[in-house]
Every structure is written in structure tokens, then in C-alpha cells.
Amino acid sequence: MKYQIIVIGTSLGGLEALQVILLGLPKTFPVPIAVVQHRHKDSDDTLRVLLQSYTNLVVKEAEDKEEILPGWVYLAPADYHLLIESKDKTVSQPYFSLSTDVPVTYARPSIDVLFETAADACNQKVIGILLTGANQDGVQGLAKIKARGGMSIVEEPESAFCSIMPAAAIAFGVADQVLPLVDIASFLVKICN
């Protein structure tokens, strides 16, 4: 199967987890990646700059109505929900939209919003990954990805900086794969090439 997008959600400890994953992806990695990392609403460009230093893929903040390109890593801007939309599920390439709607699970950007809209836009052609974090954001979204036939991956709680978020997803029964952090990138390379 050809995946259209990988969506990653993380919170507490997420910078280090994202660095590990990006370091393991080759510069020819073919699938776009969209990331929600919980951060302060006044955050600057530091997250993008730090992540860029760990990968040959292009890392950028997503822009409203931006077409999603293969092999790029898109970050949800601080204080905006990141949504994935598609004009027509069969033909068109999905694109981003940004929203300042109310926080979901106390977060904006919300992992659930990204995951649920990815599931709606891409159905079974999405991979959802839930990493370290200290709340329940992402669990409902991962459930929707799984329900639509997409692939759901959860970081093994023992390898997580904060195990609450991955443990919640496992307890909720929405993980197709539970992998140690160090194995996630190689698994993605295997299933996406």
C-alpha cells in the first residue's frame, strides 16, 4: 500500500523522541510527515531549527492551504490546530489548513485534531504515531485512524520519557504496533518503501 501521510503526535519529552525518529529516516524517505508537538503558544522557530539539524528532510511549519509534499516534515505552528483536508479522496493530494478553534484536550495544536482530519482525508493511507506525553491527547484520533483502516503505532511506554500518553492508547486498544522508540524509524522505512 502507498501511504499518503504519516502523522505524529507528542508532548512532554517529544523533542528528543522526534530527533530519534528523524535521525533514522533517509533523505529519500517518500512519505510526508505532519507533527503536533505540544508547546507554548508563544513558541518561536526553535523547534524547527533543532529538528532540522537531525535530518536531511526539509522541516518547516505548515501553512494554511499548503499542498503536502512527499519527504517533507511539517510542524503544527504554535497555537494553531493543524488539519489535513482533501478536495476529493480519490485523486487530489491532501493539503493543510490551520485553525484557531478552541483547544482540544487542553491543547492547541491538538494531536486528536490532526489525527482525526488525517483519517477523514486519507482513510487507510495514513500512519498515525503516538509518542511520549503527559495527557490523553491523540488517543481518540488514533482510534479513528485505526477504524478507517490506517496503521496505528504507539511508542512502547518503557521507552517513553513520559509514558502516560502511549499507555493510554494501549489501554484503549488502538495500537496496531507497539514499538520501542529506536525501532520506529526503521519500521517506517520498511513499510513505506
Beta bridge partners of 177: 153
Instruction: Based on the residue annotation, tell me whether 137 is a catalytic residue of this protein.
Output: yes
CA atoms within 13 A on the CB side of 134: 6
- Beta carbons of 142 and 171 less than 8 angstroms apart: no
Q: Rounded to whole angstroms, how far apart are CA atoms 177 and 151?
A: 8
CA distances (Å), 7 to each of 39, 42, 64, 159, 174, in order?
Answer: 17, 23, 17, 20, 15
Among residues 38, 86, 110, 152, the one annotated as catalytic is 38
**Gap between the Cα atoms of 26 and 124, Å rounded:** 24
CB 160 within 8 A of CB 132: yes
Q: Which residue in 81, 86, 137, 163 is the catalytic one?
A: 137
Catalytic residue among 11, 86, 152, 163: 11
Q: Is 181 exposed, middle or buried (0-12, 13-18, 19+ CB in 10 A)?
A: buried
Q: Does 99 qualify as catalytic in the annotation?
A: no
Element holding 95 (H helix, E strand) = strand 95-99
Catalytic (active-site) positions: 11, 38, 137
